């Protein structure tokens, strides 16, 4: 099932509109650096767990060591990033996407 020619034209107009290009730019400028940072943070945890066992096994207090703290911080950073993205999306992306949607549908 292929799209009707008028649908293809509409999609091309939306894709080339300044608002849509701005929406993509704002999305990418937030998501790509945060993804790279998180991947670096995660790989640091994995690499240090594999090759810096002495450091990761260092006991901080009781039975809590550095590796456990790093592992728990992985969860914390995931939730912080999700919260931050939600706030960014609500304030910066959603209004712009609504504008693009209205222009595309002619509302």
Backbone angles phi, psi at 2, to 5 degrees: -110, 160
Answer for the pair 13, 105: CB distance below 8 angstroms, yes or no. Answer: no
pLDDT of 33 above 80: yes
- Per-residue confidence band for 5, with pLDDT thresholds at 50, 70 and 90: low
State the CB neighbour count (10 A cutoff) for residue 85: 15
State the CB neighbour count (10 A cutoff) for residue 3: 10
The tens digit of pLDDT for each residue in 93-106 reads: 999 999 999 888 87
> Which residue from 75, 96, 95, 94 is spatially nearest to 85, judged by alpha carbons?
94
pTM for the full predicted model: 0.81
The tens digit of pLDDT for each residue in 45-93 reads: 999 999 999 999 999 999 999 999 999 999 999 999 999 999 999 999 9
């Amino acid at each position: 099932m292929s799209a009707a020619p008028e649908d293809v034209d509409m999609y091309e107009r939306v894709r080339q509109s300044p608002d849509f290009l701005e929406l993509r730019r704002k999305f990418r400028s937030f998501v790509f650096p945060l993804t790279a940072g998180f991947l670096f943070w995660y790989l640091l945890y994995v690499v240090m767990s594999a090759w810096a066992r002495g450091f990761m096994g260092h006991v901080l207090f009781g039975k809590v060591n550095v590796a456990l703290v790093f592992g728990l911080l992985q969860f914390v950073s995931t939730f912080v990033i999700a919260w931050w993205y939600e706030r960014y999306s609500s304030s910066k992306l959603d209004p712009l996407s609504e504008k693009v949607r209205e222009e595309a549908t002619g509302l």
